[in-house]
A and B are shown apart, each in its own frame.
Chain A
Amino acid sequence: MNMSTLATPQVITLQIDGQDVSARADESILDVARENGIDIPTMCHLDGLDPVGACRLCLIEIEGTPKLLPACMTYAEEGMRVLTDSPRLQKYRRTILELIFAERNHVCSVCVSNGHCELQNMAVKLGVSHVTVAYRYPKMEVDSSHDRFRLDHNRCILCTRCVRVCDAVEGAHTKDVMGRGVLSAIIHDLNEPWGDSDTCTSCGKCVHVCPTGALVEKGTASSEMAKRTQFLPYLTRMREHHS
């Protein structure tokens, strides 16, 4: 291979939590931080899927900018000074998690994902032992019409990982989001029961990228639904390689 034909990536330097790091200009702060062993909590982010900045858990502070910005959607710039774990950020993150818990009906003890749930793990990690905002207790459906899988809207945090994997990796785009704000919901095709969908290939990727017990395999009882997401970066890379 002729090395001279490759464009030299623009390397920039910045500071994260007081640590000098270097990055490419097309890298997000989240990627740079993780490459350098700095952990920023995320829920909607998943390696292998395009970021959407939906959950806001990865909010960071950037010196000179009054707004908090999502690390997954903010790109590295020369001379940036970033804070990822200030008391202000910790407080915001805990509140975000509390709001997620309060928005729908997350009942860990009886959930099939109990013990394997990213939301539960995040609550433990961020020290959310209680929810201080009022629960909404919405009355939500369970879509059990699919032959093998189940969608329980009660456990959905609207991270849209399922929508993205279905569209970008499987290429079916069966899943999408309907409605706005707190009334948003995952739908299949034109809001049909999952089992009636003509486009769903029943590949199960959505189930395994789902961070909670919202998308699960049928027949699993409490605490039995462990997800496997290892396939995703591998699959993404192989598809890029072939295209």
Chain B
Amino acid sequence: MAQQIKIEPVTRIEGHAKITLTLGDDGKVNDAMFHVTQFRGFEKFVEGRPLTEMPSITARICGICPVSHLMASAKACDDLLSVEIPPTAVKLRRLMNLAQFTQSHALSFFHLSSPDLLLGFDADPATRNVVGLVRKHPQRAADGIKLRKFGQRAIELLGGKRVHPAWLVPGGVNKALDPAAREEILAGIPQALDIARRTVEFFKTIVDQFHHEIDCFGNFPTMFAGLVAPHDLWEHYDGTFRFIDSDGIDVVELNEPREYQRYIGEAVEEFSYLKSPYYKPMGYPDGIYRVGPLARVNICKGFGTPLADEELAEFRQRAGNPALSSFHFHWARLLETLHAVEQIQRILEAPDILDKQVRARARPNRLEGVGISEAPRGSLIHHYKIDEDGRMVWANLIIATGHNNLSINRGVLQVAKEYVDGTKLKEGMLNRVEAVVRTYDPCLSCSTHALGQMAMKIELTDREGQVLDVLKR
């Protein structure tokens, strides 16, 4: 009888997941599947609702990155209204998105992944968590909390609250920036910048310890995709949507978000509620690509801010250009955090940042609209169709973690092949399988628009599907 080891619930991923590993006759892993097990149906139940409610409704898909859906949705609505939003509103939206990058990346790195990186993948799971981190590395843990607070507070000062601020509206934002709020955010910059800098410095001193993980944590050639700004600069809000191949060569660039369906197909697998988007011209499943921090860093030429660009040069030298191992999502995330803080300062110092004209008003002028923005985890696409009265008739949402689904599956297989031998699972192996998933900082609540607690289950089955062993958290 198969022995069961229960480790419940799974920590440090956002959402509900299960992994199945299939063994061959020799006891080696043949196949791996990453199952996302919830269904929520946002795309269906928004039908009939007025388009102006869409940012608020879709925001409720996720409270973890509470601004991302608001951003993509507001952009899709801008497209439906066919308006050009005031320049100050663009800056303010950018500001909020960067604040969110800071807080979300801090959460991913310090709270979710640092226990593996600082305490060790094979450390006792009882202490391999944020509490263990606080005990052993109080300074790092405090840095994480402070950096996250900086981002959260900036979101609150801009939008009135930290989670799901109703400030982002079709046509811009609904309130100009308060000078006092500007001062308060600016006052927090020096500390946030220090933390971001010393965290990158620190990461560079430990990254070489993980050469074995770097080699097998989703280390394979794929395409990369994301937004990119004019002059090939890093982008998170606007710009064009670019695909590059694994050699770093531009494959295609979408000038209009509405073109996305020409290049992105969505496959559905029976084993998961998470859709698997793929690059259409390559077909499924060959059209695998990655999005998120690693992709954004790979597709651009530079950040455009001095500190981040300096670090990027070293990253390229040490991790490759493009960097192919998903382990380097961590490093890329830290680079983005550094840039976000630099850029927040730059935007706050713009002469028109306190301008009162922050909203363009219009009625729906188009029946179909698409908005693409970058969530911390990667590209987020909202695609809406409305009737002539402005009511939603159809919606399609492609979420960052969805884009990465094929890659996560392959990464899990790669790690499992490397670490799993025989028919008995070991905890350290389980944690590495989880950890490869964690590098992507997946948000399963978002990606299925699903509801649930964090949980992960790993099943070991033979070729006939007989369950040999189960690890549950």
- Chain A residues proximal to chain B, CB less than 8 Å: 109-112, 114, 141-142, 144-145, 150, 152, 195, 218-224
B52–A144 touching, CB < 8 Å: no
B170 contact from A144, A145, A221, Cβ within 8 A = A221
A221–B52 touching, CB < 8 Å: yes
Assembly CA distance A235 to B340 (angstroms): 54
Main secondary structure of the interface of A (DSSP, over half): loop
Assembly CA distance A150 to B174 (angstroms): 20
Q: Residues of A contacting B166 with CB < 8 Å?
A: 114, 221-224
Given A109-B60, A223-B166; A144-B390 close (CB under 8 Å)? yes
- Asked whether any CB of chain A lies closer than 8 Å to the CB of B55, the reply is yes
A110–B56 touching, CB < 8 Å: yes
Q: Residues of B contacting A152 with CB < 8 Å?
A: 50
Assembly CA distance A114 to B57 (angstroms): 13
- Asked whether any CB of chain A lies closer than 8 Å to the CB of B346, the reply is no
Given A144-B390, A144-B391; A222-B55 close (CB under 8 Å)? yes
Within 8 A of A (CB), among B36-70: 48-50, 52-53, 55-57, 60
Q: Residues of B contacting A221 with CB < 8 Å?
A: 52-53, 55-56, 166, 169-170, 174
Assembly CA distance A23 to B164 (angstroms): 50
- Asked whether any CB of chain A lies closer than 8 Å to the CB of B269, the reply is no
Assembly CA distance A112 to B170 (angstroms): 13
Assembly CA distance A152 to B363 (angstroms): 18
B50–A142 touching, CB < 8 Å: yes
Q: Residues of A contacting B361 with CB < 8 Å?
A: 219
Assembly CA distance A110 to B70 (angstroms): 12
- Asked whether any CB of chain A lies closer than 8 Å to the CB of B26, the reply is no
Assembly CA distance A218 to B174 (angstroms): 15
Within 8 A of A (CB), among B52-99: 52-53, 55-57, 60
Give 1 or 0 for each of B353-391: 1 = CB within 8 Å of chain A CB.
000000001010000000000000000000000000111
A218–B53 touching, CB < 8 Å: no
A144–B53 touching, CB < 8 Å: no
Q: Residues of A contacting B389 with CB < 8 Å?
A: 144-145, 195
Find the A residue at minimum CB distance from B361.
A219
Assembly CA distance A140 to B164 (angstroms): 26
Q: Closest CB-CB distance, A144 to chain B, in whole Å? A: 4
Assembly CA distance A223 to B390 (angstroms): 18
Give 1 or 0 for each of B388-400: 1 = CB within 8 Å of chain A CB.
0111000000000
B55–A218 touching, CB < 8 Å: no
B48–A222 touching, CB < 8 Å: no
A112 contact from B52, B60, B363, B390, Cβ within 8 A = B52
Assembly CA distance A222 to B53 (angstroms): 6
Q: Give 17 pairs: A residue, B residue, CB < 8 Å, sorted on A.
A: A110-B53, A110-B57, A111-B53, A112-B52, A114-B166, A142-B48, A142-B50, A144-B389, A218-B390, A219-B361, A220-B52, A221-B56, A221-B170, A221-B174, A222-B55, A222-B169, A223-B166
B363–A141 touching, CB < 8 Å: no
B174–A224 touching, CB < 8 Å: yes
B53–A112 touching, CB < 8 Å: yes
Assembly CA distance A141 to B166 (angstroms): 24
Q: Residues of B contacting A218 with CB < 8 Å?
A: 50, 52, 363, 390
Assembly CA distance A111 to B56 (angstroms): 8
Q: Residues of B contacting A145 with CB < 8 Å?
A: 389
A141–B48 touching, CB < 8 Å: yes
Assembly CA distance A223 to B164 (angstroms): 12
Find the B residue at minimum CB distance from A224.
B174
B50 contact from A114, A144, A224, Cβ within 8 A = A144
Q: Closest CB-CB distance, B225 to chain A, in whole Å? A: 30
Given A223-B166, A224-B174; A142-B52 close (CB under 8 Å)? no
